[in-house]
């Protein structure tokens, strides 16, 4: 059994969650905007359902991470990747482009229930598998001042749906059905089960 993996993610929250679960990892860094790796284009395809989108992107990240392991002649540990998106009113809601976009997203989520979808994928030795965590989150009604203060805090950026449940936005949540760590970006139960199927000791 392997005691270590490669994590193909820039997310500090995923690093924190893996450390919380006692899973040892080394980072594989993909290039960020505006020079992202073409192999992991996160642009939704026309008419693509949110579940299909998030699974496709997570699997693409894991597969590309495994290619990088080969190119760089790194240790042949399994590569773990993940992707999180929101679905509201049938639409995919990703990360905000700017402060105004973040305010618009949060105004839409205010007083409503949305779904948080996190797909986790692992690639190793020619095998690629994935799991999906689906959670429902209900927000209280937010007024414009609450939204503006939250966006001004800086927490809204680089997060799907323009919020992080582990931060100040936790106060917006009136109900959560599903996985708290999945909403954060890495569902630990599903992740550990998937890694064990790859003979990772966790």
Mean pLDDT for 90-107 is 96
pLDDT of residue 36: 55
**Any idea what the CATH number is for the domain that residue 171 is in?**
3.90.950.10
The total domain count for the chain is 1
Range of the domain at 83: 4-197
> 133: exposed, middle or buried (C-beta count within 10 Å: 0-12, 13-18, 19+)?
buried
Task: Decide if 202 is inside a domain.
Answer: no
Per-residue pLDDT of 45-56, as tens digits, reads 999 999 999 999
Among this protein's residues, is 83 annotated catalytic?
yes
Short-list 163, 53, 74, 184, CA closest to 124: 74
Task: Please write the tens of the pLDDT for every residue from 70-87.
Answer: 999 999 999 999 999 999
DSSP string over 80-113: EEEEEEEEETTEEE---SSHHHHHHHHHHHTTSE
Asked if residue 179 has pLDDT above 90, the reply is: yes
- Residue 52 · residue 44 · CB < 8 Å: no
- Mean predicted lDDT score pLDDT of the chain: 93
pLDDT in tens, 129-177: 999 999 999 999 999 999 999 999 999 998 999 999 999 999 999 999 9
pLDDT at position 42, please? 84
pLDDT 10s digits, 1-47: 567 999 999 889 999 999 999 999 999 977 655 445 666 778 899 99
Q: Is residue 131 part of a domain?
A: yes
How many other CB atoms sit within 10 Å of the CB of residue 29? Answer: 11
Among candidate residues 26, 41, 83, 201, the one labeled active-site is 83
Place of tokens 């989108």: 53
User: Quick check: is 111 in a domain?
Assistant: yes
pLDDT at position 112: 98
Q: According to the model, what pLDDT value does residue 116 have?
A: 98
pLDDT value at 185 more than 70: yes
């Amino acid at each position: 059994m392997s005691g270590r993996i490669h994590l193909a993610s820039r997310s500090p929250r995923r690093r924190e969650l893996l450390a919380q679960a006692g899973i040892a990892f080394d980072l594989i860094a993909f290039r960020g905007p505006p020079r992202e790796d073409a192999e992991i284009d996160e642009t939704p395809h026309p008419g693509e359902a949110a579940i299909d989108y998030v699974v496709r992107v997570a699997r693409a990240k894991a597969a590309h991470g495994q290619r990088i392991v080969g190119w760089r002649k790194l240790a042949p540990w399994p590569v773990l990747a993940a992707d999180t998106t929101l679905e509201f009113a049938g639409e995919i809601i990703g990360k905000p482009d700017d402060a105004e976009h973040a305010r618009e997203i949060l105004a839409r989520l205010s007083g409503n229930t949305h779904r948080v979808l996190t797909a986790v994928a692992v690639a190793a030795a020619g095998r690629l598998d994935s799991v999906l965590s689906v959670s429902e989150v209900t927000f209280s009604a937010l007024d414009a001042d609450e939204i503006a203060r939250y966006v001004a805090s800086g927490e809204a950026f680089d997060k799907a749906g323009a919020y992080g449940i582990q931060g100040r936005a936790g106060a917006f949540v009136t109900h959560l059905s599903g996985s708290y760590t999945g909403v954060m970006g890495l569902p630990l139960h599903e992740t550990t089960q998937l890694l064990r199927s790859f003979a990772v000791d966790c």
